[in-house]
Structure formats: C-alpha cells, structure tokens
Structure 1
C-alpha cells in the first residue's frame, strides 16, 4: 500500500500548529505513542534497577526493552547498546578512552564533511596524546566524500578514522563499508557518526564495517538522548573512568549514574513506531524495521525529487553539493538574500526551514558559505507533498518581491 503520511501525521500532536516542518535534521516532532510511553514511565513506580520492588522491576524492564529496541534498529545486540546524554557526549567519552591507547606520533583521520561533534572530540583527544590529525577533504562541487579521499590520509600510524554516515548539512552518504575496509587494512578503528543516517535508512553495524557508532533518538521521532554501539570486542577493550562501586560490565560500565528511564521508554516507543511505518510489514521487529525504512526511503525520495524539480524552476536558487547517495537533506541559498533572512521570511509563512552551518563548520567553509551557511531543508516520515508545495510557493513569492 502507499506510504500513509496522513496516518503518521495524525499521531504527531505538534503538527496541529500548522507549520510545514523542514527542521527535522535538528530534531523531529514527537508521536503520541512516544509521549505516552514517557508519561507511563514517569507515572508508574520507579526506582533504581533491581528485581525486588515494583519500581525496581519497572526500571529493569524499561532498560532491557530499550536496549533490545535500539539493537534491532542498529543491527546489533542489546549488550552492546550504551545510553548517554547525547551523541556528542558519547563521542567525547569514546575519544578520551581511546586516547589513552594512543602514543605521540600516532594519527587520527577526520573529514571536512562532518558535524563538529565528529571532529572536535578527536582533535582534542589527539592533542592530549601527542597524536597527529589528518584531514580528509571532500569534493565541494558534488559533496562527495569518496574512499580515495580517506585512503590518501592513511598510514601505518593511523589509529582511528571518523566519518559521518550522512552529512547533516548536505545529506551526503559516504561509502562506509569501503572506507571501513581501508581503515582496517591500515590497522585503524573506524567510527561512524550515524546521527543523520539512522533517521532515514536501516543501520547494520556489521555491514557498515563500523567498530563504534553513535546516533540520536530525537532525530528519529524519539526523545533527546544519545546511543553508542560497537563491536563487542572493541567495547570490552575500553576502560572508562568510573565510580568504584559501579558495574564493570558492558554496557553499564559506560553509563555514569542512573539512566533517564522515561527517555529510554520513549526511545523504545520511537523504534516501535518506526517499525510500524509500513502497516503491512510482518515478522520480527528488525524485519518490520527493514520493510518500513524501505517504504520511508521511497516516500522521502519522491518528496526530494519533487523539491529538486521545483527549485530548479526558480531563479536565483543555488542548491549546494548534490552527491549521488543522499539522505533527504538539501542546502540552498537565494541570490540577493542572506540565509538567515530567507529563514525568517519562510517562518513568517509558517514554514520552518532554519539557516546556518549547523555545527558543520568545516563543511560550510569548504563550500564557500562561511558562518552564514545556507537554508537547510530536511524531510521526515511526516513530511508531505503539501509541505513541499508550500515551500516552493513561498520561495517563488520571495523571488518576485
């Protein structure tokens, strides 16, 4: 059956405000089942995890269920799912742990395509260990980050390669498996920032070749939270700073303090919501997620093409860095208008399309956009053809003004 965007939108209370929401790369709106799961966690008995009281059992059930759900989403196992405050925080934690194993003269590779949360933690960790930073460039004309861009920076001293799964600025999706093979051949670990990727495509940790990977549930209809996963042997080898009585088991050894149970309940519900995007999908939750993401990708591809065709018909619009493999994120500028001005104009028309570099400061500079960046349009499961048409009509009116 066709992707039922109306049924999805009906379950997202925030859309009743009437805006056309293109700000999903910065955070999606929340479905009612996710809200209900958070409320249920907070209104039921809760305590520190255990098996004696009802509150303890509720907490244990929430954590166990959330790990299983995120494992299904990421193609991994529950005992490798680590929760944290944000993907940025988890990247910092990971970088500090790995830096303990680096020596002066070792090297780490970062890219100019990435969000700063997959750049700065590695640069700062390298500095603490006396390691060197090697920069992989991308093609500013197309936005492509190709395996050869990474290969040119590898050496026998490379200890880590950090790459985005999907650029939060341009949508570019690098060839992760090919890059992973190059990194591993050099003896390096491969880290993937999947924050922009996991919202639009099925993640398979093993297929990607990632040794570690982070994502953020609030980018795929869940609450504000970060998730880290990785190969079991890699996680077992990492030794975080921790409190003496806290668990030394993986994944608990990485989770400092009591977990936010209500957010974990919401993340679990978000995964279940995603698994139901294709109501005809059957089988395990992982199988339903694969089918639902296939339907979502088809829906978002249709909307992306509608948007690209419409923008091509308008004068003065420049779309930046359109590579061949893309998440549904588009960056554009309008001749004669600053990006922030365009964003404010659209907001006045009830269209939420923010402007800036969105923490991808290196990418914005490489594209020649500087701190002003561009106007970013991102799609989500609740994006509709009517949203696209509203945006195009507003931009056409701007062009005539």
Structure 2
C-alpha cells in the first residue's frame, strides 16, 4: 500500500502518549528522524560556515542541504531560499525592506482571511511609509475570498494573501489572484504556512513573488522559510550588518543560522518525500507524489468528521469553501467553544479553541477575538483518532 498510516505513525514518538492530535494547524508532531537530525547536528563538529575546518564544512553542508530540500518541497530555486527565526519575523523583515521603495499614494492590499502575520507587517509598514491599505474581504457564509480585481490600480505595489486559511481552511485561487496582481504591476506575497502541510506546492505555478512557510507545520523544527526568485531578491537591499555577506540569499539572513534546525528541516522534507511508499524519481517528484497522497488520505477523514458534526444539534461548521484544507472551524449555539476544548482535552484529544492569530477572520465571522473550536487533520491522523473525536463531540453536545 502506497500510503501506510500505521507505519507512518510508528515514526512519531509523541503519538505513543495516546493523544489524538487535531492540533496540527498550530504545529505538527515530529518524526524520530527529524529529532535525530537535530541531535546529530548539535553533537557533531560545527563552526561558522567556511571551507577550512571540518566544523566549517559541516555547517556549510547543512545550510546548502536545507536550501536544496526546501527548494524541492516548494518547486523553487535553492538560491532563493531564505531562512529566519519564523515566518512572522521574515515577513516583518520583508515588509520593512519593500516599504523603503514605496511612496505616499501607493497602495497595498491585505485580506481579512489571513493570519495576522500576513496582515500586520504590511499594515504597519504602510503606515510608516504613508501608503494606503486596502482590505479584501470574504463571504462569512461560504468563507470564499472576494474578488481582488476591484481593489487593484496603477498605484498598487503589493498584495498579501494566504495560500490557505489557518482558521477555516479556505484555499483561494492564488494563480488567478497572481494573474490580476501582476497585470496591475504589483508583487504578490503568499502566506503558505498552513497550505504547505497539506498539498503539493509549486511557487512558480502559484505565481507567488514571495512565498513563506514554517517547517514546524510540516513535521520539522521551529524556524521560517522565504522562497523567491533570486533575481528579485537581488533588487532588494535589506538592513544588514556591514561585514555580513551581501550575497543572495545570505543578505536577508541576520546572524548565524540555527544549523541544527536546518538539519531537522532537511530531515522533515526527506520524511515527507517517503510518505508515498510507491513514489519514484528525484526528491521533487517523490515530494509531489507524497503530498498528493497526503491530501488523498486527509480528505475522506475530513469528510467523515464534517458529515458527523453537521448532524449534531446546535453545532455549525463554519468552514465551507469549495477548495480547502482538512481544517474545520466549529461553533456551538449554546456552549462556549473553550468548554469543548477542555472537554476534549480531558479525553486526551487535542483540538484547541481560539482565533489562532487570524483575528481579522474571526471578527469577520462574528466570533470576536476568541474564535472557536478548530479541528485540523495531519498526515498521521487515522480512523481511530477520528472515532475518538466523534464520540467525544457527541458526548459534549448531549451533556447539559
């Protein structure tokens, strides 16, 4: 069998604790090979990157290996892979750099569907540069993103949009958005933090000028990744230390990179590439096959949960877009979602309740800043996990 979820689960030490994890959108569990790669890097000779000592050469190999791995995962150029502390930190750095090229009267577009990490950096940068912010909404009933075209003009410099909503799972038609944005002469920034864990990604096909993601969402360690065309990166002049490298992508990386986390990132990509046991070809081909298998594995589980929850009295599934990740936002007519969160946690089921930093989306749905219960699937979710979740949700709804 190409996708063997039992074999996959056996590689995750955390799953031995017996918790049913539906909290993957906030951060995935980690396979043994990733932990081993992190430990291996920390216990091997390491130094600042160079070519003379074994430690220098080891550090350089870790960095170039991680760039190659992320390029394979995203269909990008390894020369355009930038590492940072987090996707949020990278977005702030990018926003400050791009804002230096803006002028009063210019415009940027952000959406109410996005995580605040792809909103606030642009809003704050626009305010500092005297640039107008235009807001793209979404339909609260369907959770489909509105048409961006009416907001575009000759003064639009940048549009920031999510590849998939971390709150409701909506996957906007990014290639269509990119076509409209580029026709207006603007740049497109895509927050792929939630998308990357669930679908094959090709940044060129998406039309993203800048694509950001976080390895800890797809089985890796806590760091951030920015992918862009190296030729585009060459045109940007970020703030940097005088003696630090001015080469691309190094000019965007502040200080010494966390080599152990980059080693873990490479291991996570390698693990993803092996999820489809029948996949062949180079690593990029195996990644596309494996991520396609992940999507095929997660879809029926999501549909099963959704069908059950829709039949529960007083429960509403707010995730309704035609194209979306296996992520369900659930509200209760007469119960606080935080109660459901605690009820499930007592039964060793992890499904948190919050707005998950998608505060604009939560407010737009009428849920304020507190949000609701989010159920997120991962590549290691199985039918037994779903059985436990559905039984517990039924018990919660019937309890008064």
Matches within 5 A, 1:340-351: 340-351=338-349
1:2-401 mapped onto 2 (5 Å cutoff): 2-146=2-146, 148=147, 150-401=148-399
Indicate if the aligned counterparts of 2:274 and 2:290 stay in contact, CA closer than 8 A.
yes
Contact 1:334 1:342 (8 Å CA) reproduced: no
- Contact kept, 8 Å, 2:77 with 2:229, in 1: the verdict is no
> Counterparts of 1:282 and 1:57 in 2: how far apart (Å)?
31
SS for the counterpart of 2:46 is: coil
Q: Post-superposition shift, 1:255?
A: 0.5
Checking the alignment, whether the CA contact within 8 Å between 2:230 and 2:249 is kept in structure 1 is: no
2: distance between equivalents of 1:371 and 1:362?
A: 8
Deviations 1:365-396 (A, max 9, x none): 11111122110011111101111111110011
Give how far 1:157 is off. Answer: 0.5
SS in 2 for 1:370: coil
Kindly indicate whether the alpha-carbon contact (under 8 Å) linking 2:340 and 2:373 is maintained by their aligned counterparts in 1. Answer: yes
Asked if structure 1 preserves the Cα contact closer than 8 Å seen for 2:330 and 2:372, the reply is yes
Partner Cα distance (1:152, 1:367) in 2: 22
Instruction: Give the Å deviation of 1:103.
Output: 0.2
* TM-score using structure 1 length: 0.98
Where 2:255 maps in the other structure, the secondary structure is coil
CA RMSD after TM alignment = 0.8
Instruction: Report Cα offsets for 1:247-282 as digits up to 9, x if no partner.
Output: 100000001110000000000000000000001101
Runs of 4+ residues over 6 Å off in structure 1: none
Distance 1:301 1:321 in 2: 14
- 1:109–1:158 CA contact under 8 A, matched in 2: yes
Within 2, Cα distance between the matches of 1:127 and 1:139?
Answer: 27
How far 1:233 sits from its partner (Å)? 2.2
Deviations, residues 178-237 of structure 1 (Å, cap 9, x unaligned): 000101111110000000011111111110001111000000000000000112222111
Q: After TM superposition, give the deviation of residue 2 of structure 1 in Å.
A: 4.9
Offset of residue 316 of structure 1: 1.4
SS in structure 2 of the partner of residue 287 of structure 1:
helix
Unaligned runs of 5+ in 2: none
Gaps of 5+ in 1: none
Q: TM-score, normalised by structure 2?
A: 0.99
Q: Deviations over 1:6-46 (max 9, x none)?
A: 11110000011111000110000000000000011000000
Partners of 1:18 and 1:110 lie apart in 2 by 40
Give the distance between the partners of 2:253 and 2:322, measured in 1 at CA.
38
Contact kept, 8 Å, 1:163 with 1:193, in 2: the verdict is: yes
Query: Does the 8 A contact of 2:67 with 2:78 survive in 1?
Result: yes
